Structure 1
Amino acid sequence: MALSRRTATTLVLTGILGLTACSGGTDAGSSGSSGGFAASEVKLGYFPNVTHALPIVADKEGLYAKHLGSTTLKVSTFNAGPAAMEALKSGAIDATYVGPGPSTNAFINSGGEAIRIVAGAATGGAALVVDPSIASVADLKGTKVATPQLGNTQDVALRYYLKEKGLKTDLQGGGDVSITPQENSQILDSFAQKLIAGAWVPEPYATRLVQAGGKVLVDEHSLWPNGKFPVTVLAVRPDFLKDHPETVKALLEAQVEAEDFIANDPAKSQADVGAVIKTVSGKALDPAVLADAWKNLEFTNDPVSSALTEGAKHAYDVGILKTEPKLDGLVDLTILNQVLKAAGKDVVS
């Protein structure tokens, strides 16, 4: 299926360090939920990943067009969170789906001015996949391990996990384990050529690495209470949130409807995600891989604020964040809860 006629897709390939995480509070005043007006256009970012199924389905199934009305949607795709955050901070986009690593850095480094998280989108779906010769984390000493980008959510997770296991890393690729940032598609090639011992990646790349002969050494579910950790959230520029709350509301209405669509028709939803991956990467994803990756994810509007906060602490502990995280005001679920309540769904606390 082609992208909606209201959508212009731009492949964004550049990126600089930036991070995403969240505080547990709700800032009712910042959303401008009373007043404001719909924007003439909204520039939205998401990744061609299974973890971004909610916005992909909302786009492909025309749900954004349905709820945005006369507002034009323009979509940009990204490979990793830091690049998306730079685009958001620069004003190149108004909102983006992103992992919970890059938003925290952007929020803290801007003194709380750069972003607001207005919803979750997915939890789970990340793992450390390694060569079968790696029997334990101790065997990674002296090897190279990849992540999608320096400072992204999986990069922080790997660095913190290795630190907890007594293995040193640094931001220059040195230490006991050399962490090598690479684009997800490049990670697959590097793993096949045995240039890296493994990678901490989101779905569907974790499943693809397993199919390429790797094994899961760490399923990130095992590291979090109740197995819940955010892998995708929706971040918005505060000025856009303030000036155009009705447009943000329309985005969230489409997302909530997309959540129902995914639950009711997972096969069509997977086909939508596969179509976007093929369009952006130029290569189709095996439907069996997509289906296996799907099982490792939960698509939810809840950003799991407690885990976002803990993730920010991890980023500080490994040197990605230079100041201790203070995240009051990062999360504003005011509009989301209005939408959920109107839809007869439970609100997110």
Structure 2
Amino acid sequence: MSRTPEKPAPGTQPGTTRIVAGETGKPKRKRTLEIALAAGLVLLIGAGAAVASTLSRGPETASAAVADASPAAELRLGYFGNITHAAALVGVNKGFIAKELGQTKLTTQVFNAGPAAIEALNAGAIDATYIGPNPAINSYVKSGGASVSIIAGAASGGAQLVVKPGINSAADLRGKTLASPQLGGTQDVALRAWLGKQGFKTSTDGGGDVAINPTENAQTLKLFQDGKLDGAWLPEPWASRLVLQAGAKVLVDEKDLWDKGEFVTTVLIVNKKFAAEHPATVQALLKGHVESVDWLNAAPAGEKATVLNAALKAAAGSALPADVIDRSLKNIVFTVDPLAGTYKKLLQDGVDAGTTKQADINGIFDLTALNAVAGKKISAQGLGKD
């Protein structure tokens, strides 16, 4: 049968093609059936194109289009080999997260500091990561709110400025060289902001009244032992390692700088597009996360140290002495509350440190899935959904 498209007749839907019989003709009943089949095919193609177009317009629209919210085939999760990331270490090592993910494959990647993890998240190499708050804030600000959501807290406390024994006050730091895990990381921001309040000027290129050299934690320990560093602002267990294994002393415990001693060290964030496409997977991740935090708060000290050491050996290649783990754990509170009320100060610290810019961070939190899983209301303090 020969078919030729005509101009749409009055009342025909835009985007469809009206088919008519050609010169050879066919019985009317058969022609009617062919027309119906062709029209149905066109509508199906059009619907598929509409869904594809919707998915390409961003996570919010994609979420509406993919109404079945099917789990992801794989979740790629980042974390650090630090005691402040114990929720991740335990969740992976004891299988809490994998169990909740079910058929979704869990793959992991270990990072040294936040900016590297954020780079991987934004590049699509991972889907979610445990991280310090400042890199999460910086990513959110740079992307205009499009990159990440903070979906839970993981740890509070556990960061200190440790120095050589001869350094007794802030004034003694002039002309000295300090380290932080990575430029723009949470401890790097804390160090630069604190030095600024002491009247010192610093720069992101290592200049100023006090030189700050962003350095991997393991290398920081060796440089300090070799006398090539005067101190460092570090998360646990690295602060404890410098104190117990290299003779450092604490000049500043960061908890003393915060109201009630509460400051967030580690949060769990997710790529917004991934969260929109796979909310069931995000909720499963949070179930495993909550289980990990609950275990950390309930397990006997000896069992906790054994599990963490096994996880650290798998993640970072070596276990820790018992006294290092014991000191580290005494400095940390494990909590799923991201302490949203501290984020305006964290943002301002980043601005003061020169690692981020002033911005509106309303919307950085999405705690709805966490609150559904945890069974209690954790507030976003007006900075997002709860």
Answer whether TM exceeds 0.5 for this pair. Answer: yes
Name 2:382's counterpart in structure 1. none
Identify the residue that residue 39 of structure 1 maps to in structure 2: 72
Moved more, 235-244 or 277-286: 277-286
1:254-293 equivalences in 2 (<5 Å): 254-265=288-299, 266-293=301-328
Change (3 A) 1:135 1:348: same
Q: 1:242 aligns with which of 267, 276, 280?
A: 276
Q: Distance in 2 between matches of 1:66 and 1:75?
A: 15
CA offsets 1:260-301 (integer angstroms, 9 cap, x no match)? 211221432322221232234333211221111001001100
In structure 2, the residue matched to 1:348 is 378
CA distance in 2, matches of 1:29, 1:306: 30
Quick one: which of 180, 190, 206 aligns to 2:223?
190
**Max radius of gyration: which structure?**
2
The answer to whether 1:222 aligns with 2:256 is: yes
The aligned counterpart of 1:55 is 88
Deviations 1:146-166 (A, max 9, x none): 000011000000000000010
Aligned partners of 2:89 and 2:312 also within 8 Å:
no
Could you tell me how far 1:30 is from its partner in structure 2?
Answer: 11
Work out the CA distance in 1 between the residues paired with 2:61 and 2:321. 46
CA contact (8 A) 2:158 2:265 kept: yes
Counterpart-to-counterpart distance in 1, 2:272 and 2:211? 37
Q: Which piece of structure 1 moves more, 227-236 or 283-292?
A: 283-292
CA distance 1:31–1:185, shift in 2 (3 Å): farther
**CA deviation profile, 1:125-179 (whole Å, cap 9, x unmatched):** 0000000100101100001000000110000000000000101100110000000
1:313 aligned partner: 348
1:224-281 Cα deviation digits (max 9, x unpaired)? 1111111000010001111111101011101111122112214323222212322343
User: Given that residues 168 and 175 in structure 1 are in contact (C-alpha distance below 8 angstroms), is that contact kept between their aligned partners in structure 2?
Assistant: yes
Q: Which residue of 2 aligns with 1:97?
A: 130
Question: Counterpart of 1:205?
Answer: 238
Indicate the larger mover: 146-155 or 270-279: 270-279
CA distance in 1, matches of 2:316, 2:88: 18
Looking at structure 2, the residues matched to 29 and 234 of structure 1 have their Cα atoms a distance apart, in angstroms, of 24
Q: Does 1:253 align with 2:287?
A: yes
**Cα 1:198–1:59, aligned 2, differ >3 Å: closer, same or farther?**
same
1:68 and 1:324, CA in 2 relative to 1: closer, same or farther beyond 3 A? same
- In the other structure, the counterpart of 2:334 is 299
2-side partners of 1:232 and 1:80: how far apart?
Answer: 11
Q: Would you say how many aligned residue pairs link Structure 1 and Structure 2? A: 317
Of Structure 1 and Structure 2, the greater helix share is in 2
Are the counterparts in 2 of residues 53 and 269 from structure 1 also a CA contact under 8 Å? no
Separation in structure 1 between the aligned mates of residue 68 and residue 256 of structure 2, nearest angstrom? 44
1:331 maps onto 2:361 in alignment: no
Letter in 2 for 1:287: A
Distance in 2 between residues matched to 1:288 and 1:202, nearest whole Å: 16
Q: Is the 8 A contact 2:74 2:105 kept in 1?
A: yes
The structure showing larger relative contact order (alpha-carbon pairs under 8 Å, at least 6 residues apart) is 1
RMSD: 1.8
CA 1:36 to 1:157, structure 2 compared with 1: closer, same or farther past 3 Å?
same
> Alpha-carbon deviation of 1:31?
8.5
1:196-242 per-residue CA deviation (whole Å, 9 max, x = no partner) reads 11000000011111112111000000001111111000010001111
Q: Is the 8 A contact 1:31 1:335 kept in 2?
A: no
- The one-letter code matched in structure 2 to 1:73 is L
C-alpha distance in structure 1 between counterparts of 2:96 and 2:67, whole Å: 24
Tell me the distance in 1 between the aligned counterparts of 2:188 and 2:297: 30
Deviations 1:92-131 (A, max 9, x none): 0000000011111111111111111000000000000000
Q: Which runs of 5+ in 1 are unaligned?
A: 1-27
Q: Which runs of 5+ in 2 are unaligned?
A: 1-59, 380-386
Mapping of 1:82-161 within 5 angstroms?
82-161=115-194
| Distance (Å, rounded) in 1 between the aligned partners of 2:355 and 2:85 | 24
Residue-by-residue CA offset, 1:287-323 (whole Å, 9 max, x unaligned): 22111100100110000112122111110112111x3
Please state whether the residue corresponding to 1:250 is helix, strand or coil.
helix
Amino acid at match of 1:300: T
Letter in 1 for 2:200: L
Q: Secondary structure at the match of 2:141?
A: helix
